[in-house]
Amino acid sequence: MDFPQALKERRAALHLSQLDLALKAGTTQRYLSFIESGRSVPGREMVIRLTESLGLPLRDRNALLLKAGYAPAYPESRLDSDDLAPVREALTHILAAHQPYPAIVIDRYGDIVAANAAQRLLTEGCAEHVLGNAYRMALHPDGMAPGIANFAEWARHVLHGIEAALARSPDERLAALHAELAGYVPPARLTSAHLGFAVPLELDSRYGRLRLMTTITSFATATDVTVSELKLEAFLPADQATAAALTSHASGARTMSP
């Protein structure tokens, strides 16, 4: 697919008219029409402005730049590179500060790149082969699934998040993972009282049932592709009993440490 067609499809997927996008990008509808028809070739700066105006992920902005014949504008560094040392340090600080509550950092595919010690309570009993990916760990029968009391609702919440990511940026690997995970989830049974899938995680543990809310944080101002795709998922107690259990687990872990 060439750049004019890719741009047009991206715009249409967001339900933006040519006039809407032109105004956002600081150009005219006539010029945008010429770009989408292939009659005009936009400069690199205009391509960047268009991709920014569409709100595309940095990876997709680079892909459109390549289609337009330009070099990518946003670097993609390895997380263990020297350039991202400040990012790793910040993540380590955030994860430690969230104790005694669990928190993890995942990449665009749900692979876990960092976690704090409190996360171990959630993964007790999980098979080794599911521990590397947060989505698989949550929904696989060998993972947390058997201990999740509200598995159907929680699973739909996880799948909905992946579906939203795919809608923003289609990806074959993520789509394959979604298809796999969907096979572990029973059909949704929605009632008139259904309030959506923003539900707390109810997980049975050796401390009793834990009720956890989640927050997801991203690096909104990142200019590196790798950093822009990281997400910090932090778990917070939804009741006093859960808060006490997590605090007790953290105290026990400290006592057992040499």
**Section 143-148 average pLDDT:** 96
Every domain of the chain and the residues it spans: 3-67, 82-256
The stretch 204-232 carries a mean pLDDT of 92
* 148-163 tens-digit pLDDT: 999 988 999 899 999 9
Q: Once rounded to an integer, what is the mean pLDDT over residues 237-245?
A: 95
Residue 100: cis peptide before it, omega within 30 degrees of 0 = yes
Q: Are the CB atoms for 73 and 61 separated by under 8 Å?
A: yes
pLDDT for the residue numbered 190: 57
Q: What is the mean pLDDT of residues 37-57?
A: 95
Task: Give residue 50's region: left, alpha or beta (phi > 0; psi -120 to 50).
Answer: alpha
- Which is it for the CA torsion 183, 186, 189, 194, positive or negative? negative
- Sequence length of the chain is 258
CATH class of 3-67: mainly alpha
Predicted pLDDT of residue 19: 96
If you average pLDDT over residues 51-67, what whole number do you get?
95
* DSSP-assigned beta bridge partners for residue 108: none
Work out the average pLDDT over 83-89. Answer: 94
User: What is the model's pLDDT at position 191?
Assistant: 56
Q: With left for phi above 0 and alpha for psi between -120 and 50, is residue 100 left, alpha or beta?
A: alpha
Q: Which CATH architecture has domain 82-256?
A: 2-Layer Sandwich (3.30)
- Kindly report which listed range (56-60, 183-187, 249-253) carries the lowest average pLDDT score: 249-253
Residue-wise pLDDT tens digits, 204-215: 999 999 999 999
59 with 66: CB under 8 angstroms?
Answer: no
Dist. CA 110–CA 126, nearest whole Å: 16
pLDDT band for position 257 (50/70/90)? very low
Tell me what pLDDT residue 258 has.
41
CB 98 within 8 A of CB 116: yes
H/E/C letters for each residue in the chain?
Answer: CCHHHHHHHHHHHCCCCHHHHHHHHCCCHHHHHHHHHCCCCCCHHHHHHHHHHCCCCHHHHHHHHHHCCCCCCCCCCCCCCHHHHHHHHHHHHHHHHCCCCCEEEECCCCEEEEECCCHHHHCCCCCHHHCCEHHHHHHCCCCCHHHECCHHHHHHHHHHHHHHHHHHCCCHHHHHHHHHHHCCCCCCCCCCCCCCCCCCEEEEECCEEEEEEEEEEECCCCCCHHHHCCEEEEEEECCHHHHHHHHHHHHHHHHHCC
Q: What is the mean pLDDT of residues 198-208?
A: 88
What does the mean pLDDT of the chain come to? 91
Q: What is the pTM of this model?
A: 0.85
What is the pLDDT confidence band of residue 253, given thresholds at 50, 70 and 90?
Answer: low
